[in-house]
């Protein structure tokens, strides 16, 4: 992942957010994991179909990779045989054939995200209480209309704006077991490597990947939105867990009508949503509400109390994952304006609208050792500078914003 450089004191740090596949409208749009011949047109939202030829091609490249892949210290440029130090079920080696740069010594590998601050813990508890009072079914099969979100190859059938719900261990049906994909963790032979460019570290896979295949979740230390706003460190690796609040924003303000069925999304604490909408209005229009405290120009002083918001941090809307010092392999995946992967919100046992998994899935056939990328969907606070894009894609936008 490329270094972003120092964040000026007057600016808010950059954030990763869920973004739609290029050519589609938004993160709420339903997109199929196939050839997408009508790319960028409304007619692209057609009947779901996974091309069998795609899976066969991926299987062929996987077999080729297994026949040719060298192991262990025979690989040139190997500097770490497993950055996870056994935390993952598969080894994740690190390679650098360009220079002597190594992974920062102060970086700690974690398999799952952790709540770092007391404010973050309180906000996550508010989300848990709201989830407990909600009416979402516990079974993924029932929630997704009787068929489940994955096919028999455990590949995601399409992006789901309402979020993918996976069955908990209590569901023992054969079909239910097939829905536990993200909750099982990383299974692919992923590798971190130095790209030899200004983009720095990147991620690849030693075998071919078929469309819809789960790759990894973005893991980091959970902090509150206001705590993230105060960060001024050089390398920003912030990922906002704001998707389920964003989809509740006025559909008229979206680029296209929001096609999400809100009754099928996890419940959001009422006061958290109020704060989120208040902050968004201030960010967009610069109109400061009369009840906003002068000492906190981007925060509402309203206490997140009430039935669904008990235990919420005061004036907070959502959580943010900070992977600068603690994270997993997804931290090193680079941005691209024409990506081959897509982030998807996923709910496993114990998750909620405020504390859930953001999972990376392949959206096209990816060959062995091809770099994995996704669209960061960067957002910046008021007064922030634009970030130059260095992805090198033929249709690169030139900037991340």
Q: Per the domain annotation, does 393 fall within a domain?
A: no
Q: Domain with 203 in it: what CATH number?
A: 2.170.270.10
Q: Per the domain annotation, does 239 fall within a domain?
A: yes
Q: For the residues of 5-72, what is the DSSP string, one character each?
A: -PPPTTSPPPEE---PPBTBS-TTS--BSS--TTTTSGGGS------HHHHHHHHHHHHHHHHH---G
Q: What pLDDT does residue 237 have?
A: 87
Sheet with 78-80, side-by-side order of all strands: 78-80, 94-95, 190-194, 201-205
Tell me the CA distances in angstroms from 340 to 27, 57, 240, one per residue in order.
Answer: 16, 16, 21
Q: What sign results for the dihedral spanned by CA atoms 174, 178, 184, 186? A: positive
Dist CA 378 CA 128 (whole Å): 27
Q: Per the domain annotation, does 176 fall within a domain?
A: yes
Q: CB–CB of 245/276 below 8 Å?
A: yes
Q: What pLDDT does residue 358 have?
A: 96
Q: For the residues of 218-258, what is the DSSP string, one character each?
A: ---EEEEHHHHHT---SS--EEE--HHHHTTS-GGGSSS--
Dist CA 195 CA 347 (whole Å): 33
Q: Per the domain annotation, does 400 fall within a domain?
A: no
Q: What pLDDT does residue 34 have?
A: 41
Q: Per the domain annotation, does 256 fall within a domain?
A: no
Dist CA 399 CA 388 (whole Å): 4
Q: What pLDDT does residue 186 have?
A: 98
Q: What pLDDT does residue 308 have?
A: 37
Q: Per the domain annotation, does 80 fall within a domain?
A: yes
Range of the domain at 191: 15-29+74-112+139-248+320-374
Q: For the residues of 88-104, what is the DSSP string, one character each?
A: SSS---EE-SSSS----
Q: What pLDDT does residue 315 have?
A: 87
Q: What pLDDT does residue 35 have?
A: 31
Bridge-partner residues for 326, per DSSP? 108
Q: CB–CB of 22/363 below 8 Å?
A: no
State the total domains in the chain: 1
Q: Per the domain annotation, does 129 fall within a domain?
A: no
Print pLDDT tens along the chain (401 aa).
544 333 444 445 556 665 544 333 344 445 554 432 222 322 222 223 333 444 555 555 445 444 444 444 447 899 999 999 999 999 999 999 999 999 999 999 999 999 999 999 999 999 999 999 988 888 999 999 888 899 999 999 998 989 999 999 888 888 899 999 999 999 999 999 999 988 899 999 999 999 999 999 999 999 999 999 888 764 468 999 999 998 888 665 555 445 678 889 999 999 999 999 988 776 666 555 433 332 222 322 222 333 333 334 678 999 999 999 999 999 999 999 999 999 999 999 999 999 999 999 999 999 999 999 999 877 555 445 567 888 999 989 887 76
Whole-structure pTM value:
0.80
Q: Per the domain annotation, does 65 fall within a domain?
A: no
């Amino acid at each position: 992942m490329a270094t972003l450089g120092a964040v000026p004191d007057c600016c808010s740090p950059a954030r990763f957010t869920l973004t739609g596949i290029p050519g589609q409208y938004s993160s709420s749009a339903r997109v199929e994991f196939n050839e997408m011949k009508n790319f960028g047109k409304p007619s692209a939202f057609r009947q779901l179909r996974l091309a069998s030829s795609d899976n066969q091609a991926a299987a062929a490249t996987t077999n080729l990779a297994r026949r040719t892949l060298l192991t262990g210290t025979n690989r040139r440029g190997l500097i770490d045989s497993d950055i996870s130090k056994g935390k993952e079920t598969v080894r994740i080696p690190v390679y650098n054939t360009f220079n002597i740069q190594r992974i920062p010594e102060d970086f700690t590998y974690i398999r799952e995200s952790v709540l770092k601050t007391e404010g973050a813990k309180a906000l996550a508890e508010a989300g848990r209480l709201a989830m407990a009072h909600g009416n979402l079914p516990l079974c993924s099969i029932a929630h997704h209309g009787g068929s489940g979100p994955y096919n028999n190859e455990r590949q995601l059938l399409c992006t789901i704006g309402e979020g993918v719900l996976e069955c908990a261990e209590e569901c023992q049906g054969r079909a239910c077991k097939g829905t536990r994909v993200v909750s099982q963790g990383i299974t692919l032979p992923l590798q971190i490597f130095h790209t030899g460019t200004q983009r720095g570290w990147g991620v690849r896979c030693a075998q071919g990947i078929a469309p819809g295949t789960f790759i990894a979740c973005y893991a980091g230390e959970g902090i509150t939105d206001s705590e993230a706003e105060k960060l001024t460190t050089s390398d920003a690796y912030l990922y906002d867990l704001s998707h389920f609040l964003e989809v509740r924003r006025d559909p008229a303000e979206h680029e296209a009508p929001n096609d999400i069925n809100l009754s099928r999304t996890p419940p959001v604490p009422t006061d958290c949503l109020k704060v989120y909408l208040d902050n968004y209005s201030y960010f967009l229009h610069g109109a400061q509400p009369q009840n906003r405290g002068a000492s906190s120009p981007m925060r509402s002083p309203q206490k997140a109390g009430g039935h669904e918001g008990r235990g919420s941090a005061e004036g907070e809307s959502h959580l943010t994952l900070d992977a600068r010092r603690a994270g997993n392999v997804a931290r090193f995946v680079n941005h691209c304006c024409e990506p081959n992967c897509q982030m998807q919100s996923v709910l496993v046992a114990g998750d909620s609208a405020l504390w859930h998994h953001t999972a990376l899935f392949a959206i096209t056939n990816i060959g062995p050792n091809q770099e994995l990328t996704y669209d960061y969907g960067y957002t910046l606070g008021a007064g922030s500078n634009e970030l130059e894009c260095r992805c090198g894609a033929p249709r690169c936008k030139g900037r991340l914003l």
